[in-house]
Amino acid sequence: MSVFKRGNKWQYDFWVDGKRYRGAIPEARVKAQAERAEVTIRDSVYEGIYGKSIDAPKLRDFVADTFLPWSKANKRTWLHDEFRSRPLIKAMGGKTMDEISPILIEKYKRDRRGGK
């Protein structure tokens, strides 16, 4: 196990496939709690869910439930926002907010421009 105490907080530090994972475990009060937390964190790394938000909304849901109602209530150009969001939702609506990366946005922009 790779847990240690720094000051009054327990820390974890380990490597998996050449990538380092480290951080604080502020909830742990004793070493046994810190070791259990580290095992949980390692499991999430192996399952591929470490650092990913589980409850991130899909872009389609965010636009419909949050952005467009806000735009309608606060902006005179809300119709423009509604019009401009349609192709974006068509291209990326099924992705969650944390799946949308800068590279994906640049590909979308390139495709909208005509692939230049």
3-class secondary structure, 64: helix
For strand 3-6 and strand 19-25, is the pairing parallel, antiparallel, or unpaired?
unpaired
97, pLDDT greater than 80: yes
Question: Which structural domain range is residue 83 located in?
Answer: 59-113
pTM: 0.56
CA distance 104 to 96: 12
Residues 82 and 102 in one domain: yes
**Considering the domain boundaries, does residue 53 fall inside one?**
no
109, pLDDT greater than 60: yes
pLDDT of 44-64, one tens digit each?
999 888 877 668 899 999 999
Residues 95 and 75 in one domain: yes
Burial of 36 (0-12, 13-18, 19+ CB in 10 A): middle
User: Domain count of the chain?
Assistant: 2
| Mean pLDDT value across residues 10-15 | 94
Q: What is the pLDDT of residue 58?
A: 92
Residues 104 and 63 in one domain: yes
3-class secondary structure, 97: helix
Confidence class for position 116, pLDDT limits 50, 70, 90: low
Q: What is the pLDDT of residue 64?
A: 96
